[in-house]
Amino acid sequence: MAANSAHPDRAPFITFEGGEGVGKSTQIDLLSQKLQAAGEGLITTREPGGSVGAEDIRRLLVTGEPDRWSPVTEALLNYAARQEHLEQIIQPALLRGDWVLCDRFSDSTFAYQGYAGGVRLEILEKLDSLIVGDWRPDLTIILDLDPVEGLRRAGARHDAEDRYERKGLVYHQDIRDAFMKIAEAHQNRCCVIDGSGSAETIAAEVWGIVKNKFDLSSQGSN
């Protein structure tokens, strides 16, 4: 199992990223089943949210009118939630030996509020250094999908957490481009997967990446 240099005894931390409707939650569920079958302890969580206080902040971010907050305010709210999430959920899980599979993390803030929203990247980098520090993910799976299809899928959920979906197609095209830039800049951590395939095909690719990254070859391929 690969170790984190700053916290060598911690378990792996995997994040799933991408635009709206790309299938992150489905793939987290499928990967969690594989890891549990391989005998690994784990938790699944999400951002914004994941802890009691962070879920309160989530409601501020994902509901209401699209222009409810400025991108800077959104970034600050995300990092406030992330601080709570890390302290209450992620750090304790990793240190007790449980894998953490997280639906979104810092890369989403860089994509949504930074590249697409216009917040200067150096501001986000300082916030990330302060809040996340050495607790960055070991692996990030980016699911790539045409925003038109992603928004169609997201709209089919019919829930109230649609503030970002209503920001318009151009915004979501910028987000897709942003994730590609992030992947290019962090090739040792990020793997891009075509999100247009079947859930089973994507899950097989995810499992192959995870087995290789964390030396799970002894666990078999099924």
pLDDT level of residue 159 (50, 70, 90 thresholds): confident
pTM for the model: 0.93
What CATH topology corresponds to 13-217? Answer: Rossmann fold (3.40.50)
Q: What angle do CA 142, 4, 94 make, to 5 degrees?
A: 80
Of the pLDDT bands very low, low, confident and very high (cuts 50, 70, 90), residue 6 is low
pLDDT at position 158 is 72
Question: Cα–Cα–Cα angle for 63, 32, 179, nearest 5°?
Answer: 50
Q: Where are the domains of the chain?
A: 13-217
121-139 pLDDT, tens digit each:
999 999 999 999 999 999 9
Q: How confident is the model at residue 2 (pLDDT cuts 50, 70, 90)?
A: very low
149, pLDDT greater than 80: yes
CB hemisphere CA count around 97 (13 angstroms): 3
pLDDT at 13 over 80: yes
Tell me the average pLDDT of the chain: 94
Dump pLDDT digits (tens) for 46-98: 999 999 999 999 999 999 999 999 999 999 999 999 999 999 999 999 999 99
